[in-house]
Amino acid sequence: HLTLKLIGYPIKHSLSPWIHHTFIERSGIEGSYSLHEIPSEEVFEEEINKLREAKVNGFNITVPYKQTIIPYLDRMDVTAERVGAVNTVSLEGDKWVGYNTDGIGYVQALRDKFPDMDRNIDVSILILGAGGAARGIFHGLIQAGYNDLTLANRTKTKCEDIVKGYQASVITLEEAEENLAAYDVIIQTTSVGMNEAKQIVDLANLRKDTIVSDIVYQPLDTPFLNQAKEKGGRTHYGHLMLLYQAQKAFEIWTGQPIDVTGMDEEMIARIK
């Protein structure tokens, strides 16, 4: 029996249990995936110890604890190490191993929707934002071999911190807005647009057929993606990163590939 958990706060409305229950069903493996809410940092250690004692096989860890968990791990894989955050923990032998599947999950989500992304690692990619999500996506793209990356953020120094040691450009949001037509793929990673009618940049200068991706999925139709559609962009919705990071996590826990066919549409129906 595979015992899996989701740790974070708040997580009550998370779609992860539905995603992983679907995976469990599809895989034929006997297992469970349940919420383990940790309401504050003060009780984090105590709650983590409970999971260790219970010998849970694995767990996802989400906001605000993706970094808090690190001192409790025995090992981290290279990607998690580079990103400096963990979203998946797996019990391997008696060791807790930390992974970060956000970036590779995101890249897989992009490639599944736009197969031309698969063939062309020279596409010019603009990442808007420089928070935890941007860092994960940046490393996912680097790892997949994409070599023309640009970061733009309100606070420019945060971009410089992310790209340190890698070949990538850093620009301001104003420069991004002006030069939008230079990019084949634009990825919005900030919380701007979440439950609000705001956009991180105006897409007036967008080139037709550009892939425009927003990781916000509440709402799915963000102002950013709506404008992208109007301008003839190819849109990529925020729930896909959630779905594919979960796929990669489940594959780590089980060692088996898992098919996500049809889950995209069902997630959309559940979010709307």
- Report, in Å, the least distance between residue 187 CB and ligand ATR: 12
Write the CA distances from 172 to 150, 154, 160, 209, integer angstroms.
Answer: 10, 7, 11, 23
- The answer to whether the annotation marks 9 as part of a ligand binding site is no
Residue type, 157: T
- Report, in Å, the least distance between residue 120 CB and ligand ATR: 27
Q: Which is nearer to ligand ATR, 129 or 233 (CB)?
A: 129
**DSSP percent split of the chain into helix, strand, coil, nearest 5:** 40, 20, 40
**Backbone φ and ψ of 125, nearest 5°:** -115, 130
- Report, in Å, the least distance between residue 4 CB and ligand ATR: 23
Q: How far is CA 267 from the centre of its chain?
A: 16
* Chain contacts with ligand ATR (rule: CB under 6 A): 129-134, 153-155, 158, 189-192, 200
Minimal CB distance residue for ligand ATR: 131
Q: Which is nearer to ligand ATR, 172 or 256 (CB)?
A: 172
d(CA 36, CA 183): 41
- The answer to whether the annotation marks 195 as part of a ligand binding site is no
- The answer to whether the annotation marks 85 as part of a ligand binding site is no
Catalytic annotation present for 229: no
Is residue 103 within 8 A of residue 143, CB to CB? The reply is yes
- The answer to whether the annotation marks 132 as part of a ligand binding site is yes
Q: Which residues are catalytic?
A: 66
Q: Which residues are annotated as a binding site for shikimate?
A: 14-16, 62, 87, 102, 217, 245
Q: Which residues are annotated as a binding site for NADP(+)?
A: 129-133, 153-158, 215, 238
